[in-house]
Structure 1
Amino acid sequence: MTKLLFLEPVFKERLWGGTKLRDTFGYEIPSERTGECWAISAHPHGTSIVRNGPFSGTSLHRLWNEHPGLFGHPKEDAFPLLTKILDANMDLSVQVHPDDAYAHRHENGELGKTECWYVLDCKKDAELILGHRAQTREDFVQLIERNEWDHLLRRIPIKPGDFFYVPSGTLHALCEGTLVLEIQQSSDATYRLYDYDRTDGNGNKRELHLQKAIDVTDIPHTDENVKSTKHQIGDALITTLAETPFFSVYQWDVSGKASFPAPGRYLLASVMKGRGELDGCPIHKGDHFIVPADSGDFVIEGDCEVIVSHPSSP
């Protein structure tokens, strides 16, 4: 039987957070401004804890270091990916992430941060910021200095089910009324460029990282061409959302029963809708788990949507 590793999420309060993590998934959140669920994480800023089986109570960080066989004896020193759910109850700051080389030099060896978003829900006429219109770095700096944000930033309308690939160097921001699943490199390196001049309860603005953001932003912006493909396995429609140098992401829409061959690698899985069973183990909306690398063939059945990812091969 496939021994799934179910994980307890870590929640983060944010200025822009809300209550959708509780309202949508039934999570016990710490406050009415809960913005992030770190669902599958071994990052030191918030590591998930195994909640079942012989490793119950063990952090994912420790499991990675002490039981590498579960992960196929990986070559990476640290667990490479991080799965989050983000509740953007207000606009997030406009930000950009460094690549591996820049982060290693400037952020104490941290990984860079390439990520992707799967839109779970959003308000009517919702949008997000992805990219900019500057053609040269000089234009980019001048538009920032003039506070011409409407001219600089590209806004894109969104709807539930949309998928966006956001490589390091891409200027971006989620906007009000958006709930997304995010899969990213395991990094917390973020450079804030613009925060709408907001202040906290003490009248203080949040820190900006202007020079670092200017250093790492790709100019001019180019959209990544990530095409999805679909194939059927039994009663499961498998959509490949992205295959990138850092991770691959899939959407499993299960409406019955499907038999999968042994994956040959560990898988990160998040149940976004419905319920079912994987090799007889119940899975429900809001569950996050890892399928270990040494798992054999398995069967999934039920009526559910699961977002699955794995690191790209070295």
Structure 2
Amino acid sequence: MLYPLFFEPVYKEIIWGGRKLEKYFNRNIPDGNIAESWEVSCHKSGMSIIRNGELKGTTLKEVIDSYGEIILGKKYNSFPLLVKLIDANDKLSVQVHPDDDYAKKFENQFGKTEMWYVIDAKENAQLVYGLKSEISKEKFIEAINLNKVEECLNYVNVSKGDVIFIPSGTVHAIMDGLLLAEIQQSSDVTYRLYDWNRVDKEGKRRELHIDKALDVINFNFEGNVLKPEFKSFDGYEIADAIKCPYFEVSIIKVNLSYKSNCNGSFKVYTAVEGEGEVLYNGISYKINCGDSFLMPAELDEYEILGKITLLETKA
């Protein structure tokens, strides 16, 4: 009998990271600029290890190899998602991700469509979300050659609780002062277009991938920052956030109780505020703010209790 699976975080030190994952989630994290915590991953660049129950110490891949359909359901043979927490103490590079066809051809990986949920934000926080409407491929190439990329970028204001959908081909960058949850395809392919002319400790600039980025940019993209609208039920509120071919995400604010079941498809929950517990088969599993856990596809009814806000992801 399987159960709710919790995982050890996989931390990534990157030049733009900080220490907010430590402070906000009361965690012990490695020294340095910790930018990302991979919370649920079956990717070779950061494999999740189960931290609870009989399967403690086992990798997610090993569990899927052993249990297959019991974990994932009938739709998938491999885990299709990657869930992260992101601390942008400084701004990220301006970047774009390819779609599946391009990524499989040139990178032997899946493409990357993703979404962000704003957990915390400084006052007047911003994101780069696409290019200005008048920017064509030819104008953008000219701007790159003249080092005027910043003049082409579309900036949007964001605040706590906002949702941003980033389909493949979208030029984007997280700016400083943001703490995000990211849900994406299981991919680690990023094409950097511009890195704000910054250098590392050795005076070197990070690699850019201009040619590939220009191949995959959607110059006709138009998107809006989403403000989820909640419906109230007995014990909880729920808002539909994102529905796309790769994942469906709802935001659930539990103020007393939320009951659900997997019905043959796995679910991933990410706690973005508060704390609580998940009850399954007579056993209680503590949920701390920042925790992500996977409910295997075979599980029947479970209940989440407490005062806690979660992202519920289905694939």
Q: Normalised by the shorter chain, which TM-score bucket?
A: over 0.9
Counterparts of 2:244 and 2:47 in 1: how far apart (Å)?
24
Trace 1:213-224 onto structure 2 (pairs within 5 A): 213-223=213-223
Aligned pair count?
Answer: 310
Equivalent residues of 2:73, 2:265 under 8 A apart: no
Kindly provide the CA deviation profile for residues 5-48 of structure 1, in whole angstroms up to 9, marking residues without a partner as x: 11111000010010000000122211230000000001000011
Partner of 1:198: 198
Tell me whether 66-75 or 132-141 shows the greater mean CA deviation: 66-75
Q: 2:101 aligned with 1:101, yes or no?
A: yes
Counterpart contact for 2:64–2:72, Cα < 8 Å? no
- The residue type paired with residue 284 of structure 1 is N
Determine helix, strand or coil for the equivalent of 1:144: helix
Task: State the distance in 1 between where 2:93 and 2:135 align.
Answer: 22
CA distance in 2, matches of 1:264, 1:77: 14
Taking the aligned partners of 1:158 and 1:269, their CA distance within structure 2 comes to 23
Q: How far apart, in 2, do the equivalents of 1:225 and 1:285 lie? A: 24
The 1:48–1:24 alpha-carbon spacing in structure 2 relative to 1, beyond 3 Å, is same
- 1:138-165: per-residue Cα shift (whole Å, max 9, x none)? 1221122122223200011111111000
Percent sequence identity is: 38
Report what 2:7 is aligned to: 7
Residue 221 of structure 1 aligns to a residue whose secondary structure is coil
Q: Match for residue 109 of structure 2?
A: 110
- Offset of 1:224 from its aligned partner? 6.5
Q: Note if 1:296 corresponds to 2:295.
A: no
After TM superposition, give the deviation of residue 122 of structure 1 in Å.
Answer: 1.2
Map of 1:1-314 to 2, 5 A cutoff? 3-107=3-107, 109-133=108-132, 134-223=134-223, 228=228, 230-279=230-279, 280-311=284-315
Unmatched 5+ residue regions in structure 1?
Answer: none
Q: Which moved more, 1:246-255 or 1:225-234?
A: 225-234
Residues in 2 aligned to 1:225 and 1:17: alpha-carbon distance in whole angstroms: 23
> Helix, strand or coil for the counterpart of 1:104?
helix
Structure 1 pair 227–120 and aligned structure 2 pair: CA distance change class (3 A): closer
- Residue 160 of structure 1 aligns to a residue whose secondary structure is coil
Cα 1:11–1:262 change in 2 (3 A) is: closer
3-state DSSP class of the match of 1:264? coil
Change (3 A) 1:123 1:158: same
User: Aligned partners of 1:149, 1:137: CA distance in 2, in Å?
Assistant: 12
Rounded Cα–Cα distance in structure 1 between residues aligned with 2:98 and 2:248 = 20
CA displacement at 1:67 relative to structure 2: 1.2
Taking the aligned partners of 2:224 and 2:159, their CA distance within structure 1 comes to 19
Q: Tell me the TM-score normalised to structure 2 length.
A: 0.93
Q: Does structure 1 conserve the Cα–Cα contact (< 8 Å) formed by 2:162 and 2:226?
A: no
Deviation at 1:263? 4.0
> Residue 81 of structure 2 aligns to which amino acid in structure 1?
L
Amino acid at match of 1:114: T
Shift of 1:231: 3.4
Cα offset for 1:262? 4.6
What are the Cα deviations for residues 90-121 of structure 1, in whole angstroms up to 9, with x where unaligned? 010000000000000100x2000000000011
Asked whether the 8 Å contact 1:2–1:298 carries over to 2, the reply is no
Greater CA drift, 161-170 or 62-71:
62-71
CA contact (8 A) 1:91 1:176 kept: yes
Distance between the aligned counterparts of 1:77 and 1:265, measured in 2?
Answer: 12
Shift of 1:63: 1.4
> SS of 2:3's equivalent?
coil
Displacement of 1:234 in angstroms is 2.5
CA contact (8 A) 1:233 1:259 kept: no
The letter of the residue matching 1:188 is D
Q: Is 166-175 or 252-261 further displaced after alignment?
A: 252-261
- 1:158-186: per-residue Cα shift (whole Å, max 9, x none)? 11111000000000000011110000001
Indicate the RMSD between aligned Cα atoms, in angstroms: 1.8
